[in-house]
């Protein structure tokens, strides 16, 4: 079937009434069944979805995002049976984690089933599976009766979208449909855990943090060890980056902040500040935004603030350092990646 490479018009469908929700499900399912790629809400970040069993449809995700072929895509399911269809093994640990955290912001990596095309797994023998909790994508997956391959709905190396507008800014005109399911409730990407090794290995921190995981898994290894094969390209240093230079600092008060800003090279006269405990006055800064001192609320707001700073043409964003506790680990990880390079 011939498909246009670009869509001069991207339909944006709301979902805030039952009738609108149903109409949007119907449209998304039609397009997905026809091998198209559409942007759908999830509770973590918005996803750019295609039929996970259709290699050609998935290849279009890579084209649209400008995504490197070595970066595998997470497969989204809406039942334990569907998860089972995507893998060759469903170990007791997968069952325990699924019982504890699904539907939700956890991706488990397992040996992939033959039905999953190479392009989804970037040629690897494992596949990442997640059962998202957002009701919209759940209903679409059930109606399609196939799993959805979906990376975050942004251009490669840009900040993940947490609302439909963020998606439209990056992908408007490139896809036929964006479904508006409201603000993503979690706000950062899912936790990724590799279950092909013992003990399980945390590949990407997320709001389901290591303490919560370990309550279920017991032991858990974290990150890639020395000399180990890089299993998660999401662990590459530079990722989730805003256009502006981003630095993370701790300051005692406004004078201290000003002194530290003056040290940053090259000098930027009016940086944007994102603070959560030591809030400076706005004098001397392009903007000061305050995000709540609560890990969950902070995660929900963070990407929106970075998108906003990009929109304002920010050159420098100074973010107040988060606390060093497991609840804040994923946030610290995303800030570190955004500030790399
Ligand atoms: O919250 C999320 O996970 C969102 C929403 C849309 O579900 N998706 C997302 O996808 O963040 P993406 O493509 O931006 O991140 C996928 C990352 C890969 O970069 C890699 O780090 C990890 O998930 N991943 C996926 N499949 C893997 C596999 N087979 N082995 C190891 N890591 C894998
Ligand atoms: Mg992504």
With a 6 Å cutoff on the Cβ, whether 151 touches ligand 1 is yes
Measured distance CA(144)–CA(140) in Å, rounded: 6
The pair of structure tokens assigned to 110 is 């397992």
126 lines ligand 1 (CB under 6 A): yes
- Ligand 1 contact via 182 beta carbon (within 6 Å): no
User: Is the CB of 31 inside a 6 Å radius of any atom of ligand 1?
Assistant: no
Q: What is the pLDDT of residue 236?
A: 45
- Ligand 1 centre from 151 Cα, in Å? 6
Q: Say what the pLDDT of residue 232 is.
A: 40
Say how many Å lie between the CA of residue 143 and the centre of ligand 2. Answer: 25
The model's pTM is: 0.90
Residue 232 CB–ligand 1 contact under 6 Å: yes
Mean pLDDT by 10 residues, the chain (341 residues): 63 98 98 98 98 98 95 97 97 97 98 98 97 98 98 95 97 98 97 94 93 90 54 46 89 96 90 95 92 94 94 94 94 91 61
CA nearest to 195, candidates 107, 307, 290: 107
Can you tell me the distance from the alpha carbon of 288 to that of 274, in angstroms, rounded to the nearest whole number? 6
Grouping H, G, I as helix, E, B as strand and the rest as coil, residue 311 is helix
Q: Which two tokens stand for residue 264?
A: 């940053």
List the beta bridge partners of residue 130: 76
Residue nearest to atom 10 of ligand 1 (CA): 151
Q: Which pLDDT score is estimated for 231?
A: 35
Short-list 85, 86, 79, CA closest to 120: 86
SS3 state at 217: helix
Predicted pLDDT of residue 3: 53
What pLDDT is stored for residue 222 in this prediction? Answer: 85
**What would the DSSP string read from start to end of 65-129?**
HT--TTS--PEE-SSHHHHHHTBS---HHHHHHHHHH-SSSEEEEEEBPTTS-HHHHTT-SEEEE
In the chain, at which residue ranges do the beta strands (DSSP E only) sit? 11-14, 38-40, 47-51, 75-76, 106-111, 126-130, 148-149, 177-180, 191-194, 201-204, 221-222, 245-249, 272-275, 287-290, 316-320
- 152 CB within 6 A, ligand 1: yes
- For residues 124 and 70, the answer to whether their CB atoms sit within 8 Å is no
Nearest-CA residue for ligand 1 atom 3 is 190
Residue closest by Cα to atom 18 of ligand 1: 234
């Amino acid at each position: 079937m011939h498909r246009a490479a670009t869509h001069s018009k991207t339909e944006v469908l709301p979902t805030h009434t039952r009738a609108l929700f149903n109409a949007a499900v119907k449209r998304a399912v039609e397009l997905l069944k026809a091998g198209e790629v559409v942007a759908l809400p999830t509770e973590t970040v918005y996803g750019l979805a295609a039929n996970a069993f259709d290699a050609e449809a998935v290849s279009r995700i890579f084209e649209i995002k400008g995504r490197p072929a070595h970066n595998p895509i997470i497969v989204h399911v809406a039942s334990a049976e569907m998860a089972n269809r995507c893998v060759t093994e469903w170990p007791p640990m997968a069952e325990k984690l699924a019982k504890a955290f699904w539907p939700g912001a956890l991706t488990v990596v397992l040996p992939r089933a033959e039905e999953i095309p190479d392009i989804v797994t970037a040629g690897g023998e494992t596949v990442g599976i997640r059962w998202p909790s957002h009701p919209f994508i759940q209903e679409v997956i059930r109606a399609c009766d196939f799993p959805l391959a979906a990376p975050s709905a942004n251009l490669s190396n840009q900040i993940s979208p947490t609302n439909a507008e963020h998606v439209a800014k990056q992908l408007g005109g490139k896809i036929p449909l964006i479904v508006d399911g409201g603000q993503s409730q979690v706000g950062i990407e899912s936790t990724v855990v590799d279950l092909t090794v013992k003990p399980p290995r945390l590949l990407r921190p997320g709001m389901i943090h290591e303490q919560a995981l370990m309550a279920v898994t017991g032991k858990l290894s974290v990150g890639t060890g020395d000399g180990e094969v890089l299993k998660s390209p999401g662990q590459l240093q530079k990722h989730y980056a805003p256009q502006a230079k981003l630095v993370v600092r701790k300051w005692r008060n406004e004078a201290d902040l000003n002194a530290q800003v003056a040290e940053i090279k090259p000098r930027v006269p009016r940086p944007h500040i994102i603070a959560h405990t030591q809030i400076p006055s706005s004098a001397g800064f392009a903007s000061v935004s305050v995000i709540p001192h609560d890990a969950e609320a902070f995660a929900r707001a963070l990407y929106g603030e970075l998108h906003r700073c990009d929109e304002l043409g920010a050159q420098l964003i100074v973010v107040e350092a988060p606390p060093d506790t497991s609840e804040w680990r994923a946030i610290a990880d995303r800030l570190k990646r955004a500030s790399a390079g």
